[in-house]
Amino acid sequence: MRLLFVDNSGESEIYSPLEHWKPLFPEDFHCVDATRGGLSGLDPRDYSHVILSGSESCTLDEEAWMLEEEGFVRAVVAEKIPLLGSCFGHQLIAKTLFGRDAVRVRPKGEVGWKEIRVGADDPLWGRKGETQWAFLFHYDEVAFVPPDGGQVLASSDECGIQGFKVRDLPVWGAQPHFEIGVTQGIQLLRGAHCSPDEVQGGVPPRDTGFVVTMMRRFLESRPGA
């Protein structure tokens, strides 16, 4: 098992995805900075699993490094290697596989700890009807998943597609930052000059710790599963 972690955060001063994800990784993992050409020349067949991180960037900007990452995603999918996209990564997978119109800018951001509802049984997300609480911080979203190309798996009150899976492939998107706990989320909000109390509107932050189960299930997935 060798995991590839694709860091899309660039030079962000408030968001360091590897810091949050690393404790969950197997001993053998490789991290690359996609914003600085880190994917150039990589062969996805050298890895057993791939994770795409979040970013403060918008996938619709189509910067050169994003287009390079889209090409890498196509190569990963072609090899049927297990792939998980988080937040920006979730949107980039949808845009790459379902087209540019699959992603849109939200009227307003979805920020804070929200209830995520699982709408269908899935090896990664769990059983239909289960709920998880997780941290969200996004101003773009996946707008649609074509029924012949994928399946919507999770939603929240403010966002209809919090998670999806590509049909017949071990490829998933997850909008929530399951990897960011309450303490980390509060620090991130303050770094972004957001008041946690105002964001939550009096509702205490809550995280059900689903990231541990999600990562175990993801690492247990196999090519083509």
179 is known as an active-site residue: yes
- Residue 167 domain-assigned? yes
Per DSSP, 204 falls in state P
Would you say residue 225 lies in a domain?
Answer: no
177 belongs to a structural domain: yes
Domain with 103, as residue range(s), is 3-220
187: left (phi over 0), alpha (psi -120 to 50) or beta: alpha
Average model confidence (pLDDT) for the chain?
96
Which H or E element spans position 122?
Answer: none
How do residues 180-219 score in pLDDT, each as one tens digit?
Answer: 999 999 999 999 999 999 999 989 999 999 999 999 999 9
Taking CB atoms within 8 Å and a gap of at least 24, the contacts of 33-38 are: 33/7, 34/6, 34/7, 34/8, 34/65, 34/66, 34/68, 34/69, 35/7, 35/8, 35/9, 35/10, 35/11, 35/65, 36/10, 36/65, 37/65, 37/68, 38/6, 38/7
The residues with which 50 forms a beta bridge, in sequence order, are 4, 83
Catalytic: which of 69, 110, 141, 179?
179
When pLDDT is cut at 50, 70 and 90, the band that residue 225 belongs to is low
Active site residue 30: no
Residue 212, Cα to own-chain centre: how many angstroms? 15
Please write the tens of the pLDDT for every residue from 9-28.
998 889 999 999 999 999 99
**Which member of 87, 90, 110, 138 is catalytic?**
87
**Residue 25: per-residue pLDDT:** 96
What CATH number has the domain bearing residue 90? 3.40.50.880
Task: State mean pLDDT over 77-81.
Answer: 97
> Which of 20, 90, 138, 177 is labelled catalytic?
177
Determine, yes or no, domain membership for 90: yes
Number of domains forming the structure of the chain: 1
Question: What pLDDT does residue 223 have?
Answer: 83
Q: What's the chain's length in residues?
A: 225
H-run or E-run covering 19: helix 17-21
Per-residue model confidence (pLDDT) at position 11: 87
177 is catalytic: yes
Quick check: is 109 in a domain?
Answer: yes
Per-residue pLDDT tens digits for 148-175: 999 999 999 999 999 999 999 999 999 9
148 within some domain: yes
End-to-end alpha carbon distance in the chain? 16
Residue 60 has pLDDT above 80, yes or no: yes
